[in-house]
Amino acid sequence: MQASDSAVATRFPIGGQAVLEGVMMRGPQSFTVVVRRPDGTLAVKEDLWRSWYTRWRFTRLPFVRGGLVLVETLINGIQALNFSATQAMPQEDDETSGISTWAIGLTLVFALGLGITVFVVLPHVLTIILGKLGPFRYDVSSFWFHLVDSVIKVLLFVAYLLGISWLPDIRRVFQYHGAEHKSIHAYEAGEELTVANASKYSVLHPRCGTAFLLVVMVLSILLFTWIIPWLPLPITWTAWLRHFVIVIIKIGLMMPIAGIAYEFIKWTGKHRTNPWVAGLSRPGLWLQRLTTREPSPDQLEVALQALTRAIALEHEKELACSLPSVEP
């Protein structure tokens, strides 16, 4: 598998995601999923994709686009996981069908709701319990309340990653995650896209979604511990009403925080050779050791195939845009 001369000449910002027995790659205008079927053949889903945040001037603004990219990535991820599930574990009648737009929307709402419950509401409730029963007493207006809440949030996240890493199917997904990173490293280095070239690179990448989630948590800690205690909530409110309002505020701040985290990850990706920036990125790379594993050659082949097809789609779209229109 080789990268074309035009692909080498032009570098597109391409990211990816591991799925069941495969990899999804997405460029600015492309969406590709390649999955290894049980019989060893490759199933491919590919299409041109126009990102939401590039459609209007307002949505392209820094700190605005990050939230849109997050939602868009979740939707693409659900679509890719659906395709990979139907291909990696085909039905007995060998008929596979994608889920509807409504089903994707409901799945997205459920996923967001579950994430908010586990990583926003549950830490807050546990912090209330510790504040009432633990040796150190504090209330919701205290700096310590939100610091404890943040620590619990981080511990839950790490425990979740450690827990799922023991599942055999998830371990294979983590191997494909490593294959995705190795492939993108080879592409960004201008290497020929072969298994031999990609295999020598690290499974860790500074623009990984795992690093993004870590940045989100760090920003949450900074904002929640230093801003929320100073909110002028009416003293006449009951304690439960104050807790309810603060949880709603935390949920409302998640999209702005995601926007800031996106800009940070984008900036560190552009300046990764700077030693100071590399130092800032290192905790995100450490966390990726929980979500990546060394891939096998056949897994690298799948990732490289997805990457190559995504690059081809990007060039196809670039060429179409450069051709002059012909009047009928």
Asked if residue 186 is part of any domain, the answer here is yes
Domain presence at residue 327: no
* Boundaries of domain holding 19: 5-322
Query: In 3D, which of 74, 77, 66 has the Cα closest to residue 24?
Result: 77
Is residue 107 assigned to a domain? yes
What pTM, to 2 d.p., does this model score? 0.83
- Which alpha helices (H) appear in the chain, and where do they start and end? 5-9, 65-88, 101-116, 122-133, 143-164, 168-188, 195-199, 209-226, 239-270, 275-288, 297-322
| Range with lowest mean pLDDT among 3-7, 37-41, 141-145, 291-295 | 3-7
Of 107, 167, 322, 142, the residue nearest 224 (C-alpha): 142
Among 68-72, 117-121, 195-199, top mean pLDDT goes to 195-199
- Confidence (pLDDT) at 95: 47
Residue 25 has pLDDT above 70, yes or no: yes
What share of the chain has pLDDT > 90, as a percent?
28
Into how many domains does the chain fold?
Answer: 1
Is 45 or 59 the better-scoring residue by pLDDT? 45
Strands of 30-36's sheet in order across = 15-19, 22-27, 30-36, 42-48
Mean pLDDT across 53-67: 71
Q: Is residue 328 part of a domain?
A: no
List all residues 6 or more positions away from 5 whose beta carbon is below 8 Å from its beta carbon: none
Query: Mind listing the pLDDT tens digit for each residue in 193-251?
Result: 999 999 999 999 988 888 888 888 888 888 888 888 888 888 788 888 988 999 999 88
CA distances from 31 to 21, 80, 105 (A): 17, 9, 19
Is there a domain that residue 297 lies in? Answer: yes
Measured CA to CA, the distance from residue 297 to residue 221 in angstroms comes to 40
Contacts with 69 (C-beta within 8 Å, 6 or more apart), sequence order: 51, 53, 262
In a domain, 148, yes or no: yes
Q: How many CB atoms lie within 10 A of CB 89?
A: 13
